[in-house]
Amino acid sequence: MASAEVHRRIKAPVDRVWRSATDVAGAGKRMSGVERIEPLTDGPFAVGTRWRETRTAAGPSATEELVVVECEPPRRYVVEGTSGGARFRSTTTFVPVGSETQVEILFDAPPPNLGARLVGFLFGVLAARTVLATLNRDLDDLARWCERPAR
């Protein structure tokens, strides 16, 4: 799987969506696919923020360490990590549209070598479906969280 793109219009202002999306410690409450979050750095969400995330996607749980490598609040952030030996990069962009927010996630996981390219070719469709399903579920969860009535 080389790349995937998903987007969603969320009926909430960009500041609320940004705060929710970048609340690393609270991600386990907001995201149905996340079993556990372990923050590895203190302080506000910024370049260098690290955490371990355990998820169940297709099959057994997997734990990955993620790091923020670019951050432009409240416009976009970029996270990098490694999964199954392959490096990936995820860019999340937030665009205000009136009182709503358009959120887009671009996911890129280039194969690290020829063997991985061959396996990716053979299993690419299955991997693509899994990644797209995960990204769409994350955006659905974010929308549900941000669109809930204020408490």
6-42 confidence digits (pLDDT tens): 999 999 999 999 999 999 999 989 999 899 999 999 9
pLDDT, one tens digit per residue, over 45-90 is: 999 999 999 987 666 788 899 999 999 999 999 999 987 677 889 9
Query: How many domains is the chain partitioned into structurally?
Result: 1
Contact 96, 104 (CB under 8 A): no
User: How does DSSP classify residue 59?
Assistant: S
Helices and strands per DSSP (H, E), number in the chain: 3, 7
At 122 the pLDDT is 45
Q: Which CATH number does the domain housing residue 42 bear?
A: 3.30.530.20
Residue-wise pLDDT for 114-146, tens only, equals: 545 445 544 454 556 778 888 999 999 999 999
| CA–CA–CA angle 103, 92, 25 (5° rounding) | 100
* pTM of structure: 0.86
Res 121: pLDDT? 47
Domain that includes residue 108, residue range = 3-147
Distance CA 151, CA 145 (A): 12
